[in-house]
Amino acid sequence: MADLMNNDVFLAFSTYATIVVLKMMFMSPLTGYFRITRKAFSNWEDTAMGKKNPEDRKKMLQTNPDVERVRRCHQNDLENIIPFVVIGLLYAFTGPDLSTALLHFRVFVGSRFIHTVSYVLALPQPSRGLSWVVGMITTFSMAYRVLTTALLL
Amino acid sequence: MADLMNNDVFLAFSTYATIVVLKMMFMSPLTGYFRITRKAFSNWEDTAMGKKNPEDRKKMLQTNPDVERVRRCHQNDLENIIPFVVIGLLYAFTGPDLSTALLHFRVFVGSRFIHTVSYVLALPQPSRGLSWVVGMITTFSMAYRVLTTALLL
Amino acid sequence: MADLMNNDVFLAFSTYATIVVLKMMFMSPLTGYFRITRKAFSNWEDTAMGKKNPEDRKKMLQTNPDVERVRRCHQNDLENIIPFVVIGLLYAFTGPDLSTALLHFRVFVGSRFIHTVSYVLALPQPSRGLSWVVGMITTFSMAYRVLTTALLL
């Protein structure tokens, strides 16, 4: 283990992977915030806050555009950040230069923060689309190094 | 590799990560069980069991509250268990005390089992909400150690 | 780190995990392809391609069966490929025979390619169901080795 914590690329990966996963986790309380302020829930047992009669509670079992938007953003995080974490970990083990690795990690994490802001605020395209593409290309670039360095089929 | 298998914190992480990922995977057959018993499918090709005429099959392309509930529980697992696995692995590499690490792993895995039972059985709140919060706090606590031990930005 | 890159099982895991994660990532552009060709979007800001009047744009905020099918396939990938990656990594650390490990990795990755083709082309069951079960069993088999080799509760 000790050697991993002495490896700068692994330390950098730890740092950026943790930051971007925390960002992804932040989507959960954000969804909760929109569910409560928009009174839009999926589960009957979630509508019991305050003393509500059944009719009022039934109305809270609805979908809301703001809630759905945050949920799509969260889903997009799952679809993109998890591949980054998996391929980034394997990439760190291929022994890249620290500066090259940092470039990959910083560009990816930056692109995902831009993606989240673009999505949640519904900024005009192509802000969201471009940030998504930049993140994909960064992950592909790391995957290319993994497959050319560590191939055993 | 050998040193990893001699590291107790890593062994504990392996054990608890595997258990909680198996729990997450269990949601798939559970969804299948509800789809079959509630006759509620998403795909036309899934409605062909038994000799059915097209009219009967079309009726099986429906959503069902029990199926949707299990699917939401599965989605919540993806959103919470995957961050635990990623941050827990990095946390194990920071060399925490075994007892502290075990506390984190046990609390998280326990909280997710309670969460699943609360969700699938639709127990009154705050059982599900509290178990979700406990899991989040556990993961944040590990992330805090990763970022304070292994920071390289 | 160096010892990891000299470990054949870890190299094989790197290769197959990267391939199957890239396959999962491919579902995103495939979804985009169906969204554009079927003119079916979720976000208002995505409907601005070309000069559209608001009425035409509103019609593009619709669900489409082909888009939903690809999205379900992507979701199934998240639910199955991520457990494989987590448990497969821990499995690689348990020091299995290379030939046994390769068998697991190849069967899993093959099963997921068959699953994707079956899902996207809507092939008759049980092609999709069987390929899903084979992938699950492969992951269970690796989880069994992890829990019997590295148990620390």
Residues C73-119: tens digit of each pLDDT: 999 999 999 999 999 999 999 999 999 999 999 999 999 999 999 99
User: Residue A2: what pLDDT?
Assistant: 56
Angle made by CA atoms A153, B84, B121, in degrees to the nearest 5: 110
Residue A99 contacts by C-beta under 8 Å, 6 or more apart in sequence? none
Residues of chain B with Cβ-Cβ distance to A5 below 8 Å are 93-95, 149-150
Nearest to A73 by CA among B66, C58, C45: C45
With a cut of 70, say whether residue C1 has pLDDT above it: no
Nearest to C32 by CA among A133, A67, A64, A63: A133
Q: Do C46 and A125 touch (CB under 8 A)?
A: yes
Percent of chain A at pLDDT > 70 equals 97
Please give the C-alpha separations between residue B73 and each of B13, B70, B114, in angstroms, as whole numbers. 23, 5, 12
With a cut of 90, say whether residue B72 has pLDDT above it: yes
Q: Taking all residues of chain C, what is their mean pLDDT, rounded to a whole number?
A: 94
Q: Do A93 and C11 touch (CB under 8 A)?
A: no
User: Residue B113: what pLDDT?
Assistant: 98
- In the structure encoding, which two tokens stand for residue C96, read together? 């299995």
User: Residue A51: what pLDDT?
Assistant: 64
B4: closest chain C residue by CA: C93
User: Residue B93: what pLDDT?
Assistant: 94
Q: Whole-model pTM?
A: 0.95
Residues of chain C with Cβ-Cβ distance to B74 below 8 Å are 79
Q: Percent helix, strand, coil in chain B (nearest 5)?
A: 80, 0, 20
Q: Do C143 and B22 touch (CB under 8 A)?
A: yes
Residue pair A86/B86 in contact (Cβ under 8 Å)? The answer is: no
B39 — pLDDT class (breaks 50, 70, 90): very high
Residues A133-147: what's their mean pLDDT? Answer: 97
Instruction: Report the half-sphere exposure of B109 (CA within 13 A, side-chain side).
Output: 21
User: Residue A24: what pLDDT?
Assistant: 98
CATH architecture of C1-152: Up-down Bundle (1.20)
Residue C53 contacts by C-beta under 8 Å, 6 or more apart in sequence? none
What is the 8-class DSSP label of residue C43? -
pLDDT single digits (tens) A39-62: 999 999 999 877 678 888 999 999
pLDDT single digits (tens) A83-123: 999 999 999 999 999 999 999 999 999 999 999 999 999 99
With a cut of 60, say whether residue C25 has pLDDT above it: yes
Runs of H (alpha helix) within B38-97:
54-59, 65-93
Nearest to A85 by CA among A24, A148, A4: A24
Nearest to B130 by CA among B147, B115, B152: B115
With a cut of 80, say whether residue A23 has pLDDT above it: yes
The full 3-state SS of A8-73, as one line of letters, equals: HHHHHHHHHHHHHHHHHHHHHHHHHHHHHHHCCCCCHHHHCCCCCCHHHHHHCCCCCHHHHHHHHH
Neighbouring C-beta atoms of residue B153, cutoff 10 Å: 11
Residue pair B40/B64 in contact (Cβ under 8 Å)? The answer is: yes
Q: How far apart are CA C128 and CA C119, in angstroms?
A: 6
With a cut of 80, say whether residue B50 has pLDDT above it: no
B87: closest chain A residue by CA: A18
User: Residue A8: what pLDDT?
Assistant: 94
**ipTM for the assembly:** 0.94
Nearest neighbour of B17 by CB, restricted to C86, C149, C153: C86
Q: How far apart are CA C19 and CA A99, in angstroms?
A: 26
Q: How far apart are CA B44 and CA C107, in angstroms?
A: 27
What is the 8-class DSSP label of residue B44? G
User: Residue B150: what pLDDT?
Assistant: 78
In chain B, the N- to C-terminal Cα span, in Å, equals 27
B52 — pLDDT class (breaks 50, 70, 90): confident
All structural domains of chain A with their residue ranges: 1-152
Q: Do C45 and A124 touch (CB under 8 A)?
A: yes
Q: Do B10 and A19 touch (CB under 8 A)?
A: no
User: Residue B51: what pLDDT?
Assistant: 64
User: Residue B2: what pLDDT?
Assistant: 56
Percent of chain B at pLDDT > 70 equals 97
User: Residue A53: what pLDDT?
Assistant: 86
User: Residue B144: what pLDDT?
Assistant: 97
User: Residue B78: what pLDDT?
Assistant: 97
> Measured between CA atoms, how close is B143 to chain A, in angstroms?
6
